[in-house]
Each structure stands twice: as structure tokens, then as C-alpha cells.
Amino acid sequence: MDEPTAALGPAETAMVGELIKQLRQEGVGIFLISHDLHDVFDLCDRVVVMNRGVCVGSHRIETVSKDDILSLIIKGALPEGWHPRTEGALQ
């Protein structure tokens, strides 16, 4: 899904979010592209960050913060001293 909540109002955004959660509970895998970090943290199990066409990070959502993701987006690197847990990380 590429930006499924773009240009939607709050009520419609909530409906789309609930549909995605229901599909996930039913075992449907979804590849969600979003610039909305609220959606990412609410709906995703993993996050992959691209910077200029290169994958600069791929982690389970519970191992990163919004600041970590923003650092990957802006700088293409994690903050100094940040070491994600390796359990569940995509390599």
C-alpha cells in the first residue's frame, strides 16, 4: 500500500488503519509505504528506511524510536552510539 491515508480526513484515516490491523490479524502480509511515522508505529512490525534509493536501516519496530528513524531518513545513519538489538533484525 503506497500512502493509503494520504489526503484522507481523520475519520477515513482511522478506518483504513483498522482495516490494515484486521488484515494483519488474519495473517495477510502488507508492505506499507508511509511518511507518517504515527502510522508506521501503529501499523507496522518492521520498518525499512530508504535514503536516496539505498536501504539504510531495517529493524523491528520495537527496536527503534521516531528519532532513530528520522536520523536514518535525514543522515542515512543512526545516531552515534546507537546499537539496535540484533534479534529479529533483517540483514
CA distance 32 to 28: 12
pLDDT in tens, 2-58: 999 999 999 999 999 999 999 999 999 999 999 889 999 999 999 998 877 778 888
Q: Give pLDDT, residue 78.
A: 63
* Of 57, 41, 55, 66, the residue nearest 89 (C-alpha): 57
Q: Which residue has the higher pLDDT, 91 or 48?
A: 48
Q: Which residue has the higher pLDDT, 13 or 87?
A: 13
pLDDT in tens, 64-85: 888 888 888 887 766 665 555 4
Taking the CA atoms of the chain, what radius of gyration do you get in angstroms? 14
Q: Give pLDDT, residue 87.
A: 46
Give the helix/strand (H/E) hosting 47: strand 46-51
Q: Give pLDDT, residue 46.
A: 93
- Would you say 77 and 56 are in contact if contact means Cβ atoms under 8 Å apart? yes
Tally of CA atoms within 13 A in the half-sphere of 63 that contains its CB? 18
- Would you say 39 and 51 are in contact if contact means Cβ atoms under 8 Å apart? no
